[in-house]
Structure 1
Amino acid sequence: MASHLSLAYTTTGCGSTKTIMKLTWPKRGVKLPRVVIIRTGKWVYDPSYPLYDTSCPYLSTAVSCQKNGRPDSEYQKWKWKPHSCSIPRFDALKFLAKMRKKRIMLVGDSIMRNQWESLVCLVQGVIPTGRKKVTYNGISMGFHALDFDTSIEFCWAPLLVELKKGPENKRILHLDLIEENARYWRGVDILVFDSAHWWTHPEKKSWDFYMEGQSFFRNMNQMVAYQKGLTTWAKWVDLNLDPRQTRVIFRSMSPRHNRENGWKCYNQKTPLPSFSHQHVPEPLIVLQEVLKRMRFPVYLQDITTMSAFRRDGHPSVYRRVINQEERQHPTDFSSDCSHWCLPGVPDSWNEMLSAIL
């Protein structure tokens, strides 16, 4: 029988000591991991950044802001500096050495895909041509560093739980089903999850009905539904993963800067210097409560506050190629203030991720 331990432990050199969650260990002798929560700090200009070139071949068009015509590039030259500590500069060879013979998988939505592209671009430059490849398998894709026997994978599961077509082609979100997605997560050494944006889209929902057990619901409070979906994920992790074999990280939600009809990030060139008040998004509160109830020790990587300063880092209108004539009338186009230009903000998330690992 596992023994139940209520444990207080510290962050890895950044922030204050906190009681984070209750842990149930499968047996004695399991090394206690640390939870990394780096909420306070500032963005520091560093002319030695970015860490890779905008010509990285693994960048999708929607985040290739320089190629799409964005005229400024200073948004690439900021490094996140937590108070009272520092995050090491990303070292591709050291990262690959740590990941030798391992699989790391980033699971989530298009912003997690954004982070996956960043991580692949951070490492691919030190790998010789012909010793790297990308493979596809259902809802997952993987970048493989052949000499290190390392794979960096992305799995599309924006809600974590299952979204299926039902009668009359209705889209049904099953709050208590997850195995169709989770089967891709088995056997992975390091799992990094995120899930928030699809649950909280104010303008549209990706489903017509919720289903739990045999019960259908047309309407449900978004945060109640999110809590139910996360609880299904948490139960799967608790029942199917062994902390001696798999490390699990949950990355907090990436902030949007979509106010003012989606134009709050347009033409922004520097980070915000400060906030008048610090807002903790409701999905982050729900996530923390779910993690507290888990037996499995999940790392919470909090990138929400640090990224909220960076309204300059989004593609805005430069999510596609903008020609000279179109630049004269930018407000004729939609503005993406959710995803991130690369190189850019997700590189700092991955520097933090490398430090955790």
Structure 2
Amino acid sequence: MKAPPPSSAAFLRKERCLSRYFFTLLVFILFIMILYVENFRCIFVVQFENNRPSQSTPSGTKEREKLAFAVGEAETGCDVFSGRWVWDEHRPLYEEAECPYINPQLTCQEHGHPDTGYQHWRWQPHTCSLPSFNATLLLETLRGKRMMFVGDSLNRGQFVSMVCLLHKIIPDHAKSMTLNGSIRVFTAKDYNATIEFYWAPFLLESNSDDAIVHKISDRLVRKGSINKHGKHWKGVDIMVFNTYLWWMTGIKFNILRGNFDDKDKDIAEVPTEEAYRMAMKSMLWWVNKNMDPNKTRVFFTTMSPLHEKAIEWGGDEKGNCYNQTDLIDDANYSGLDFHNKNVMNVIDEEVRKSRYPITLLNITQMSSYRKDAHTSIYKKQWNPLTPEQLADPVSYADCVHWCLPGLQDTWNELFFAKLFYL
């Protein structure tokens, strides 16, 4: 016999019971969701970020990484090497007489330069501004570290400029300068820091390696000899290389295959461009093998232009930088002939291929406008001048090196900007 159907009252009681059960369950679920909503949101965001299409840099390019010593970044699209010179009454950044470390070959005021106009020009990039040179920041950064300039007399000038920019905030008893063979060392004692210059005009071993007696007409460079000098560069934290001028003896250059003490020397005459590329490759090989990009910044300063032919900027056919007080106002002027441009291209090509990040200090174009800033005749002369030379100043004007203070202080402002702001 079948059980009787439930009464309507019993059915309603059961329905109300189920409703309370589902209501309680819903409230509990909402409570849990509110309690853990942040976790749910994080899980969702992470999953979304992991699964959305990549927006990284195009294939074949690396994302820009901040290099050692960088404290910030330059304005987007800022090329500090493209700009113009503007007159600035607040310059120079120091006085010639205030810096006892300037070589007598660069003290133009002491040797009779008739004006100081060359000291008052400031470099203004087209799309941004250079950060002000901060000697305190740089010295604090160098605490317990070494900065070294390696190369020829033009790099030595940049080294001296750097010392002059820094030394005035260091008490006399807390600084020193020493010279030992190929190396000069300025020490900031309270910072346990050194700024050094190492004479190596070719970077490789050469017959011009004597820091004093090196004026040799038949220049000879030994192939594969970077370690000859490189052993003195180990442990440096900030390195600035240059090499260029000494290679410019013509379209051919002599390379030694073997050793300088070989009785029968194996010498090959090769195109200068090829010889220069050999040196660049050796330098980059040494850097990659001996330096850590997470700890050491490496810079390379491009060629310093000459102003030995005034006809190149529309001047007198027999003139040069002597008695030049104006800047070259042609923005497209470079002063580089086909041969020089080819060698300059080697720098760009080899640095681009380097696995180690090399920062180029491209001072060539901005310096090419400054025919006014050379030491000219206003320097200590190596040899007594003849009556014929004295009668013709153009004949002995130095249109290679630069007065200090002057242009090379701007090189170091660019160096400072690149070191800290890339």
What range is the shorter-chain TM-score in? 0.7 to 0.9
1:342 aligns with 2:396: no
Contact persistence 1:258–1:337 (CA under 8 A): yes
Aligned mate of 1:50, from 85, 92, 117: 92
Contact persistence 2:322–2:394 (CA under 8 A): no
* Matching residue of 2:140: 97
Code of the residue aligned with 1:273 in structure 2: it is: D
SS at match of 1:315: strand
Code of the residue aligned with 1:314 in structure 2: it is: H
Contact persistence 1:106–1:155 (CA under 8 A): yes
Shift of 1:267: 1.0
CA distance in 2, matches of 1:86, 1:212: 48
1:196 aligns with 2:244: yes
Shift of 1:100: 1.6
1:66 aligns with 2:109: yes
* Matching residue of 1:221: 271
Shift of 1:89: 2.4
What TM-score do the two structures reach when normalised by structure 2? Answer: 0.71
SS at match of 1:72: coil
Shift of 1:276: 4.5
CA distance in 2, matches of 1:202, 1:171: 11
Code of the residue aligned with 1:174 in structure 2: it is: R
What TM-score do the two structures reach when normalised by structure 1? Answer: 0.83
Alpha carbons of 1:247 and 1:10: their partners in 2 closer, same or farther (altered >3 Å)?
closer
CA distance in 2, matches of 1:171, 1:250: 23
CA distance in 1, matches of 2:400, 2:334: 19
Shift of 1:268: 1.2
* Matching residue of 1:130: 173
CA distance in 2, matches of 1:251, 1:193: 6
1:112-166: per-residue Cα shift (whole Å, max 9, x none)? 011111111111111111110012343111101111111110010110111149x
Contact persistence 2:205–2:228 (CA under 8 A): yes
Alpha carbons of 1:262 and 1:288: their partners in 2 closer, same or farther (altered >3 Å)?
farther
* Matching residue of 1:26: none
SS at match of 1:286: helix
Shift of 1:95: 1.8
SS at match of 2:322: coil
Please say which structure displays the higher CA radius of gyration: 2
Contact persistence 1:317–1:330 (CA under 8 A): no
* Matching residue of 1:271: 327
SS at match of 1:319: coil
Code of the residue aligned with 1:302 in structure 2: it is: N
* Matching residue of 1:353: 415
Q: CA RMSD in A?
A: 3.0
* Matching residue of 2:230: 182
SS at match of 1:210: strand
Shift of 1:275: 3.6
Shift of 1:288: 0.9
Give unpaired runs (5+ residues) of structure 1: 18-36
**Matches for 1:272-351 after TM superposition, within 5 Å:** 272-278=328-334, 281-320=341-380, 329-331=391-393, 333-351=395-413
Identity of aligned residues (%): 36
Shift of 1:238: 1.2
Alignment length, in residue pairs?
327
Alpha carbons of 1:330 and 1:71: their partners in 2 closer, same or farther (altered >3 Å)?
farther
* Matching residue of 2:287: 237
1:66-85: per-residue Cα shift (whole Å, max 9, x none)? 00000010100011111111
Aligned mate of 1:211, from 252, 256, 259: 256
Code of the residue aligned with 1:349 in structure 2: it is: W
CA distance in 1, matches of 2:155, 2:146: 16
Shift of 1:202: 4.4
Contact persistence 1:14–1:38 (CA under 8 A): no
